[in-house]
Structure 1
Amino acid sequence: MPNPEAPRPSHSGGKRPGGKRPGGRKFVRAVLPERFRARVAAVSWRDLALTAGPFVLLFAVLAAVAIWFLNPAPPNTLTISSGPEGSAFHKQAERYRQILAREGIRLVVLESEGSLENLSRLRDPAAKVDVGFVLDGVSAEPADGSLVSLGSVSHQPVFMFYRGTEPITRLAQLAGKRVSIGRIGSGARVLALALFKANGIEPGHDTQLRGLEADDAVQELLDGEIDAVFLMGDSAKPETIRRLLFAPGIHMIDLAQAEAYTRKLPSLNRLRLPMGSIDLAQNIPQADTTLIAPNVELVARESLHPALSDLLIEAAREVHGRRNVLQEAGEFPVARAGDFPLSDDAARYYKYGKGFFYRTLPFWMASLFDRIVIVLLPIAVLLIPALRVLPWLYRWRIHSRIYPWYGALISLERGLLEGPAPADAERLRERLEEIELAVNRLDVPLAFVDQLYVLREHIAFVRRRLDGLGSEVDAVTE
């Protein structure tokens, strides 16, 4: 019976004495024991850490492996093999060096004897050369995948001059004559030998194929010591070409079979030297002249970093992209490979251009973001299904603390169905008390409290059955 003398709580304004409302966070903090509040936290951080921790560790390891092996940071130093000091290749490499320096990349320029030595250095791992200028058609060895092309960067026209009054329009007409085809080891000599071989002319026969230096060859042609000369690259300097075109009795070969050469030797191109392009006033040459020309490729080792590949092609556009007598503006560099396959990075650049980061950020920062994106993309593919699994694992961990007690409860209830003796009923009651105490101590997040209350209701249900059984046992005993 309630005590009529006991003071009744006031309900005016819905407040208890002291001005506190019976509800809200302040009331909960004042009434609930600290230990109980800890057990009904919104999230079980321990379970969350144990569930997500292995995934986080796995992704960290994958990211580290991807950064280390798949996309390392680009080096800040490159080495290019160019050509003799003062040559066109060497001057172009120096311009590359200045352009790359703007992006914080140091380019070391090595002098060389030309394409053949550049190629030899690129193939030699001990040479530590990353990139070099190589003339199409000079490689005698098949591509093995260790070297790739970043594209063709220029034409290398072949200028052929002869002495005499009879017009020469085919190389076969030089059979039996004295011809200078360039010094031994030069790209010009390799190409000239290939051209003569295509015409059935071999060294050591009636035709004398000499290996003179360019200046000596020009002088001997003017003096009548030789009948023809092949000039290309640094040998074909503008002043040298003008000197020969203005010399009496010296003519430039207008190659009538140029198109046939481009079909038989894929490294060659057909070019047209316009009439009057050397001297408009004196109309030299006096007619359009057909030339052949291999391309110069920018060849690199297959291991070249993609970011540096982009920088080198950008530099090539600045150095080789201008218009001149034999090429249009923007014609070079171009995604055309000769002796070596075009690299995947170069093909991507020619198709899509610079990436977003490299267009908008400094090189070092763009490289960092680019690496992060490349690493995160494959990890994200794994992360998406993992994020779907994590909630299920988290729920499973919480349920694994609740569901075992259902097994204990069912086992106890089956004991009741067997009609236990009074002593057994007391043992079952003690076991039920143990289960209830353990359940009350469970640490369960708020989102799963409803399942805890359902379990407690089931415990109460079993207790009622146990109490009813106890009453029946007492009645029978009496």
Structure 2
Amino acid sequence: MKKQAPVGRSSDRSGSRRAGNYFGVSWFDLAISVGLLVIVGAVLIWVAIRVIRPAPPDTLTISAGPEHSRFWLEAQQYKEILKRNGVTLNVLTSSGTLENLKRLADPTSHVDLGFVQSGLTRVSSVVSPDTHPAGLMSLGSVSNWPLFVFYRGPELTRLSEFKGKQLAIGRDGSGTHQIVLLLLRANGVEGNGDTQMLPIEGEVAVNALLDGKVDAAFLTADSARPFLMQKLIRTAGVRLFSFTQAKAYVRTFPFLRQFEVPMGAFDLANNLPPEPTATIETTMELIARNTLHPALSDLIIEAAGEVHSDASLLQDAGEFPAPFAHDFPLSPDAARYYKSGKSFVYRTMPFWLASLVDRLLVLVVPVVVVLIPALRFIPPLYAWRVKSRFYRRYGELIALERNVLDDPSEENHAEFASKLNDIETALNKLKMPLAYADSFYALREHISYVRSQIAALRRGAND
């Protein structure tokens, strides 16, 4: 025979179920309260991502140099390195650093990077001194740029002694051309009268010197290729000019540095040159627009390290890239990179993932500063939402009471009774947390009070 559950226990469970139907968390009100906070948080996060730390672009443009020139070839290496990190580098050919600078100075050219010879802005009118520092910045020097002067005839010790001669000073538009003009003019040598300045460089200039068509050739790192230097140094009657006034040039022109050609650098067997030879050099800087994304700045300098850090006849291993800036201020991001390297996320993660994490870290600021303190507003907002339902019923109750007092007709009283019943029915179906049961019973008591008051008034009127 089946056992019957005790009546009291069954009744308790039934009552509990019914209570659970009316008393509990008001999920709708809670959703509204939390939802407002979520919307505010979403707006803050959007602002943080789009304004504080936007995503780095996936395409950059660099103005390099003539096709197959040293810096055009090195720009191709940059392109391959950046490609590994999902960034496309467009390489533009140019006539040289002068055109690179002109493109960088023009925002409409959409050029982000360029190789620019230091000191060029001092001898060129391409960029106004009043405007270029505001829009451009340096990512550091990526190579040195020594000046080699080969000449025929008796030994010369000063550039002023080249007056009245035929000189190959580099092609128009090149940084070498501009710098050599500056140095010669400082020595009183102008391209007029007996002095002829020919815009030729590299092998053309070397052959002109060997054939006796020019008296001197001014060569820099891009045009002074090792086989040409060896060819010149081994030719009888051709000398390598020694800048005996090198210190004075460096003091006069701050963008210049001293450079020493080691003894035997071009021919160890024959010890050519036979003694250390002093010359001067500029540096080649990587210039960028000041809108360059910090993450890309790190990536580009890292690429420069791969391309320019090897030892050569002209530089020590690891000498470049370096935080040397002359005409433009060193980028704060570049300065930070040279000091401490890449941040932890970029050292340990792929570039695309590190970029995402770096941007997400920015969200910590609005979350900590705004969202966490804002959490304390959720309970009051939730309480207001729940109590507002009682407030609405109180408003309806007051309106009903005043309406029937103003017009105690039978018809109006019938409408009052019907609406009062509706309020009470809706109240009984209202789901709310148990913490607000006192408001629930208070409203029910007030409904009964209004009903009894109106009933007493009607009895008095009938008597």
* TM-score, with structure 2 as normaliser: 0.79
Q: Deviations over 1:418-438 (max 9, x none)?
A: xxxxxxxxxxxx9xx999999
Determine if the alignment matches structure 1 residue 129 to structure 2 residue 111.
yes
How far apart are 1:72 and its partner, in Å? 3.6
The secondary structure found in structure 2 opposite 1:234 is coil
* Amino acid aligned to 1:390: I
* Aligned mate of 2:42, from 57, 60, 70: 60
How far apart are 1:192 and its partner, in Å? 0.6
Aligned ranges 1:105-144 → 2 under 5 Å: 105-139=87-121, 140=124, 141-142=127-128, 143-144=132-133
Contact 2:45–2:366 (Cα < 8 Å) also in 1? no
The secondary structure found in structure 2 opposite 1:32 is helix
Aligned ranges 1:207-356 → 2 under 5 Å: 207-356=195-344
Contact 1:272–1:326 (Cα < 8 Å) also in 2? no
Aligned ranges 1:182-197 → 2 under 5 Å: 182-197=170-185
Contact 1:321–1:331 (Cα < 8 Å) also in 2? yes
* Aligned mate of 1:383, from 348, 368, 371: 371
Aligned equivalents of 1:124, 1:144: Cα separation in 2 = 13
Report the equivalent of 2:5: 18
Aligned equivalents of 1:132, 1:454: Cα separation in 2 = 73
How far apart are 1:88 and its partner, in Å? 0.7
* Aligned mate of 2:146, from 157, 162, 170: 157
How far apart are 1:334 and its partner, in Å? 1.6
How far apart are 1:172 and its partner, in Å? 2.9
Q: Deviations over 1:84-141 (max 9, x none)?
A: 2221111111111221222232322222221112222333444333322111122332
Report the equivalent of 2:161: 173
How far apart are 1:271 and its partner, in Å? 1.8
* Amino acid aligned to 2:365: L
Aligned equivalents of 1:233, 1:114: Cα separation in 2 = 13
Q: Which moved more, 1:291-300 or 1:386-395?
A: 386-395
Contact 2:148–2:279 (Cα < 8 Å) also in 1? yes
The secondary structure found in structure 2 opposite 1:322 is coil
* Amino acid aligned to 1:325: L
How far apart are 1:355 and its partner, in Å? 2.7
How far apart are 1:217 and its partner, in Å? 2.5
* Amino acid aligned to 2:96: G
Q: Deviations over 1:406-452 (max 9, x none)?
A: 99xxxxxxxxxxxxxxxxxxxxxx9xx999999877644x5xx4564
* Amino acid aligned to 1:318: E
Report the equivalent of 1:474: none
Aligned equivalents of 2:300, 2:70: Cα separation in 1 = 17
Aligned equivalents of 1:229, 1:279: Cα separation in 2 = 20
Q: Cα–Cα, structure 1 residues 439 and 96, in superposed 2: closer, same or farther, change >3 Å? A: same
Q: Cα–Cα, structure 1 residues 104 and 435, in superposed 2: closer, same or farther, change >3 Å? A: closer
How far apart are 1:83 and its partner, in Å? 1.6
Q: Cα–Cα, structure 1 residues 458 and 309, in superposed 2: closer, same or farther, change >3 Å? A: closer
Report the equivalent of 2:23: 40
Determine if the alignment matches structure 1 residue 87 to structure 2 residue 69.
yes
Q: Deviations over 1:317-351 (max 9, x none)?
A: 00001122332222211222222222333233223
The secondary structure found in structure 2 opposite 1:291 is strand
* Amino acid aligned to 2:111: V
Determine if the alignment matches structure 1 residue 374 to structure 2 residue 362.
yes
Aligned equivalents of 1:345, 1:173: Cα separation in 2 = 46
The secondary structure found in structure 2 opposite 1:156 is strand
Q: Deviations over 1:166-223 (max 9, x none)?
A: 341x323333433221122211110111212333433335543332333333233234
The CA RMSD over aligned residues, in Å, is 4.3
Contact 1:63–1:376 (Cα < 8 Å) also in 2? no
Contact 1:406–1:455 (Cα < 8 Å) also in 2? no
Q: Cα–Cα, structure 1 residues 404 and 129, in superposed 2: closer, same or farther, change >3 Å? A: closer
Determine if the alignment matches structure 1 residue 148 to structure 2 residue 137.
yes
Unaligned runs of 5+ in 1: 1-15, 408-429, 464-478
Aligned equivalents of 1:273, 1:19: Cα separation in 2 = 109
How far apart are 1:153 and its partner, in Å? 0.7
Aligned equivalents of 1:382, 1:134: Cα separation in 2 = 45
Q: Cα–Cα, structure 1 residues 19 and 438, in superposed 2: closer, same or farther, change >3 Å? A: closer
How far apart are 1:146 and its partner, in Å? 2.5
Q: Which moved more, 1:303-312 or 1:81-90?
A: 303-312
Q: Deviations over 1:256-292 (max 9, x none)?
A: 2223322332222222222222222222222222221
* Aligned mate of 1:75, from 40, 43, 57: 57
Contact 2:166–2:196 (Cα < 8 Å) also in 1? yes
Aligned equivalents of 2:7, 2:345: Cα separation in 1 = 59
The secondary structure found in structure 2 opposite 1:235 is coil
Contact 1:130–1:304 (Cα < 8 Å) also in 2? yes
* Amino acid aligned to 1:197: R
Aligned equivalents of 1:217, 1:234: Cα separation in 2 = 13
Contact 2:167–2:215 (Cα < 8 Å) also in 1? yes
The secondary structure found in structure 2 opposite 1:149 is strand
Report the equivalent of 1:393: 381
* Amino acid aligned to 1:171: L
Contact 1:402–1:452 (Cα < 8 Å) also in 2? no
Contact 2:133–2:329 (Cα < 8 Å) also in 1? no
Provide the aligned length of Structure 1 versus Structure 2.
Answer: 440
Contact 2:162–2:189 (Cα < 8 Å) also in 1? no
Contact 2:208–2:214 (Cα < 8 Å) also in 1? yes
The secondary structure found in structure 1 opposite 2:120 is coil
Aligned equivalents of 2:441, 2:64: Cα separation in 1 = 84
* Amino acid aligned to 1:39: Y
* TM-score, with structure 1 as normaliser: 0.76
